[in-house]
């Protein structure tokens, strides 16, 4: 009914379309389907979280985070353009400062 050349042509066209779609998806353009690679932001680009402390390394940040967790305060150690920061939710900021100072 159909020759092997017809099947080869369909496969070639499908493969070509697949390559075009993948090149577009991975192009990094704003209309791309895939998200861009994350970039390191400044401390004021974390939305509802505020900087609490500037640990010298990840281990110190983890210690601070453990203190806050014991007090029931959620935190995160994040890399920022200014270095590592322990971030907490803005509504918990004053209570988190009390935990670290006390």
User: Does one domain contain both 92 and 47?
Assistant: yes
Question: What pLDDT is recorded for position 29?
Answer: 66
User: Does one domain contain both 32 and 49?
Assistant: no
How many domains does the chain fold into? 2
Question: What pTM does this model have?
Answer: 0.62
| Domain enclosing residue 8, as ranges | 1-37
User: Does one domain contain both 14 and 48?
Assistant: no
Q: 18-71: per-residue pLDDT in tens?
A: 998 888 777 766 666 666 667 788 888 888 999 999 999 999 999 999 999 999
Give Rg (Cα) of the chain.
25
User: Does one domain contain both 54 and 25?
Assistant: no
**Cα gap 60→47, rounded to integer Å:** 24
User: Does one domain contain both 48 and 85?
Assistant: yes
User: Does one domain contain both 47 and 82?
Assistant: yes
């Amino acid at each position: 009914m159909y020759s092997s050349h017809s099947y080869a042509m369909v496969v070639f066209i499908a493969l070509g379309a697949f390559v075009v779609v993948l090149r577009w998806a991975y192009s990094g353009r704003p209309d791309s389907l895939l998200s861009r690679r994350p970039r390191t932001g400044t401390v004021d680009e974390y939305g509802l979280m505020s900087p609490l402390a500037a640990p010298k390394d990840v281990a110190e940040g983890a210690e601070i985070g453990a203190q806050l967790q014991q007090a029931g305060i959620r935190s995160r150690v994040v890399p920022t353009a200014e270095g590592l920061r322990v971030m907490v939710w803005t509504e918990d900021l004053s209570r988190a400062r009390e935990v670290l100072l006390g």
